[in-house]
Structure 1
Amino acid sequence: MYTLLSGLYNHLTRKEEYYVLIIGLDNAGKTTLLERIKSVFMGVSSLPPDKIAPTVGLNIGRVDIKSSRINFWDLGGQRDLQSLWERYYSECHAIVFVVDSTDSKRLEECKDTFEKMITNDAVEGVPLLMLANKQDLPDALRVEEIKEVFNKIAVKLGARDSRVLPVSALEGHGVKDAIDWLILRLQRNKMNRPPIFR
């Protein structure tokens, strides 16, 4: 009897688990974004900006949102670490690509990196959220200006769910809306990339 009740309890309380990559060039604000996501959805205070070091390898953040557990994998963006991203593509359920809106000099490099990622067969059909970060700074490019650069390769996105949104990971502006959009797409994409149940 205990086994039956225990099994029923586990079935009723299990969570859908998803894996979301946070990638982009170094210094785009990926780790700051992860800290802000944890702060917004878990109610914990995020690390102060001066305590956030560049990611070498992988940071993991787990956030429970509604009946789902979202595992965010924040991967280092340095050029020599970008080759490691491919190892995570087949396991992820969505990708968040973070762009530094204040770094117009590296926007072409960012576009090339983005194009290399979206043309990888392992991310076919995976929802993609591009975040134009650092919108709180006066020299930040507007979303329309960033879209203009990336429009040249937009055809390669295919029919997948994708969106470009402005955020400030430091201030928290736009972060909740961005993650809410992402959660809805994870739910819609269950047939293509089923969640893991735990």
Structure 2
Amino acid sequence: PLLLLHAALKEVKINNVILMGLDSAGKSTLLARLLTGQEMETSPTIGFNVGTLDLDKKTSLTVWDVGGQKSMRPNWRYFLDDCKALVFVVDSTDRVRMHEAQKVLKKVLCDEKLRGIPLMVLANKKDLPDSMTIREISNQLDLDSHNERLWEVQACSALKGLGLQQAFISVHKMIKKS
């Protein structure tokens, strides 16, 4: 019976995915849209939100949305235990804060708990005029310097629900590869 339990537990792998990024990047809107399929009013996250995203009958991801305000960032490290993928959300229209996002991302990726953990960067708010291209965001965040890590950048719109399902299917594929 113990062997069966162990086999069953291996089948039910919990895939914790951490959603991080600067405040106002759209993390909570993104999570709400993913979980409900609806556009929802959200407010700044104090602490975290969590939900389970079912990709198919056998695959689900537990997605943790962690508040992005400066005062919250020192607490991010407490969410990294058992993290299988990091999804870093940026506001693709906010050119002014891209350098801050780059510094914050670099600092998070230095954490030992994230060694070898795949990174998905979501360029949110692509439905708005003047949003940056994937290449611009990749350059601004200096993603090429993370060549020891599996990473990807995808455009999305949390508000409109564009690109979200595809992005999280990619996240799951990255988890399986790593």
TM, length-normalised to structure 2: 0.89
Counterpart in 1 of 2:165? Answer: 176
Q: CA RMSD in A?
A: 2.1
Aligned-pair distance for 1:163? 0.3
Q: Confirm whether residue 60 of structure 1 aligns to residue 50 of structure 2.
A: yes
Of 29, 49, 54, 1:32 maps to 29
The code of the aligned residue for 1:172 comes to G
* Residue aligning to 1:46: 38
**8 Å contact from structure 1 (residues 15, 69) kept in 2:** no
Q: Which runs of 5+ in 1 are unaligned?
A: 40-44, 190-198
CA distance in 1: counterparts of 2:172 and 2:119, whole angstroms: 11
> Are 1:122 and 2:113 matched, yes or no?
yes
C-alpha contact (below 8 Å) 1:96/1:131 kept by paired residues: yes
Report the counterpart of residue 113 of structure 1 in structure 2: 104
Q: Distance in 2 between matches of 1:26 and 1:105?
A: 13
Choose which of 20, 26, 32 in structure 2 pairs with 1:23.
20
Q: 1:149 to 1:47 in 2, by over 3 A?
A: closer
**Whole-Å separation in 2 of the counterparts to 1:34 and 1:161:** 23
**1:16–1:69 Cα contact (<8 Å) kept:** no
Write the mapping of 1:1-198 to structure 2, written as runs, cut at 5 A: 11=8, 15-39=12-36, 45-48=37-40, 51-66=41-56, 67-151=58-142, 154-155=144-145, 157-189=146-178
Secondary structure in 2 matching 1:159: coil
Stretches (4+) displaced over 4 A: none
Q: Deviations over 1:130-152 (max 9, x none)?
A: 0110000002112121112123x
Distance across 1 between alignment mates of 2:30 and 2:87: 10
SS at match of 1:85: helix
Classify the secondary structure of the residue corresponding to 2:71.
helix
The percent identity for this pair of structures is: 34
2:38 alignment partner AA: S
- Write the letter of the residue equivalent to 1:177: Q
TM-score w.r.t. structure 1 length? 0.81
> Runs of 5+ in structure 2 lacking a partner?
none
How many residues get paired?
174
**Residue 53 of structure 2 aligns to which amino acid in structure 1?**
V
> How far does residue 90 in structure 1 lie from its aligned partner after superposition?
2.7
